[in-house]
Amino acid sequence: MKEKVEKALKKIRPFLEAEGGNVELVDVTDDGVVKLRLSGACGCCPMSAYTLKMGIEQKLKEEVPEVKSVEQVK
């Protein structure tokens, strides 16, 4: 599943990079929790929680149905 998540993140990255940010895949647990690290402008943006849940998590769930949730790690 990790490969599927990374493939989906490649589609999302250009949008984050356009705003000066990026996302790094840290881990995918056996129960479908994806752990991500936001960096650049996204790492300190006050809207990062919204971006993570309403943007990245939603897109990952569409692309990889096995994903149950997304968590941000520092």
Residue-level pLDDT at 36:
96
Residue-level pLDDT at 60:
96
Range of the structural domain that residue 54 is part of? 2-72
19-49: string of b/e by CB count within 10 Å (b at 16+)? eebbbeeeebeeebebebebeeebbeeeebe
- How confident is the model over 22-64, as pLDDT tens digits? 999 999 999 999 999 999 888 888 888 888 888 999 999 999 9
pTM beyond 0.85: yes
Query: For position 68, which CATH number holds?
Result: 3.30.300.130
Q: How far is CA 6 from the centre of its chain?
A: 9
Nearest in space to 5 (alpha carbons), one of 30, 38, 31, 27: 27
- If one counts the domains in the chain, the total is 1
